[in-house]
């Protein structure tokens, strides 16, 4: 049995007239009648009761009509889903991101993607840049929002955001009321910083900015996550130099002050 036989059968079952069914199928009536007869022989049942004046479905024909309709609907759904998958409209997308990306561009990207591709399952992973690179190389991730450098010949990176650096201070800090400050004014402060392996370029930019102010930062505490860094600033463990997008976090007990100097433009590639 071929799918075309089921389509021929359904046309006759719906029209209950071989002539009208043949016209609907854009074929002559005799070949259609022959195809239906072959289908009945193959199944070993009579599908239609025929008289000169009337064509009707037998009990077996009624069962086949119902089953054939469901089968063709499932086939159409399978074809549609296959085509959607080939266009990237269906399936699973594993996205990794550094924590600061969630405070800037990523929520809008996710919203737009969800609106355009509602049937794609999104799986999110908060990972460091190095962890993302390894996940992409292992094919566990499809895309990553990370901080440079992304040095691997098989990976493609595209900048999606550039932002300045600001200083995060406890609200009670002596500099907290200033509209802006010079990096030199942070000399002698204790710093909260993330490990260099987490984001090499950002780390080096922060150290370079401090050197520009004539000092090397004294690190009181390291933390891997930006939220933890801000919590430590709130607890007055130290100050922190962070990407300006962290201001969107609106953390209580901490304020963000821009620098008078032009800071390095911190890239977020994808």
Kindly report the CATH class assigned to 165-258: alpha beta
State the DSSP code for 239.
B
Over the stretch 94-142, which tens digit does the pLDDT of each residue have? 999 988 788 878 999 999 999 988 888 899 999 988 899 999 999 999 9
Q: Does the pLDDT at position 90 exceed 70?
A: no
pLDDT score at 159: 86
Separation between Cα atoms, residue 124 and residue 126, nearest integer Å = 7
Q: Give the chain's mean pLDDT.
A: 89
The residue assigned the tokens 């086949």 is: 64
pTM: 0.58
Separation between Cα atoms, residue 43 and residue 126, nearest integer Å = 58
In the structure encoding, which two tokens stand for residue 1, read together? 């049995």
Same fold? 3-66, 165-258: no
Q: Where is average pLDDT lowest: 76-80, 215-219, 235-239, 264-268?
A: 264-268
For residue 8, report the phi and psi dihedrals to the nearest 5 degrees. Answer: -60, -45
Over the stretch 31-57, which tens digit does the pLDDT of each residue have? 999 999 999 999 999 999 988 888 999
Fold adopted by 3-66: Arc Repressor Mutant, subunit A (1.10.10)
pLDDT score at 265: 64
| Residue boundaries of the structural domains of the chain | 3-66, 90-145, 165-258
241 touches 165 (CB < 8 A): yes
Q: Does the pLDDT at position 221 exceed 90?
A: yes
Query: Which has more confidence, 14 or 269?
Result: 14
Query: Which has more confidence, 90 or 259?
Result: 259
219 touches 267 (CB < 8 A): no
Kindly report the CATH class assigned to 90-145: alpha beta
């Amino acid at each position: 049995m071929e799918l075309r036989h089921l389509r021929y059968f359904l046309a006759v079952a719906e029209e209950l007239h071989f002539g009208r069914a043949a016209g609907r199928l854009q074929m002559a009536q005799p070949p259609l009648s022959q195809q239906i007869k072959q289908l009945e022989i193959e199944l070993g049942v009579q599908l239609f009761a025929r008289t000169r004046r009337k064509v009707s479905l037998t009990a077996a024909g009624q069962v086949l009509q119902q089953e054939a309709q469901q089968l063709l609907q499932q086939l159409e759904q399978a074809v549609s889903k296959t085509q959607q998958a080939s266009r990237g409209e269906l399936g699973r997308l594993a996205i990794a991101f550094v924590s600061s990306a969630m405070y800037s561009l990523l929520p809008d990207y996710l919203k737009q993607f969800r609106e355009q591709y509602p049937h794609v399952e999104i799986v999110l992973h908060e990972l460091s840049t190095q962890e993302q690179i390894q996940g992409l190389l292992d094919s566990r991730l499809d895309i990553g929002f990370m901080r440079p450098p992304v040095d691997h010949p098989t990976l493609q990176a595209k900048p999606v955001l550039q932002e300045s650096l600001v200083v995060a201070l406890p609200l009670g800090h002596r500099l907290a009321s200033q509209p802006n400050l010079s990096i030199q004014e942070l000399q002698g402060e204790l710093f909260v910083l993330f490990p260099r392996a987490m984001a090499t370029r950002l780390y080096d930019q922060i150290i370079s900015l401090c050197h520009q102010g004539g000092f090397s930062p004294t690190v009181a505490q390291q933390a891997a996550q930006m939220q933890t860094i801000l919590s430590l600033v709130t607890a007055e463990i130290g100050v922190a130099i962070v990407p300006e997008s962290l201001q969107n976090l609106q953390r209580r007990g901490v304020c963000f002050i821009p620098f008078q100097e032009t800071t390095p433009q911190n890239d977020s590639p994808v």
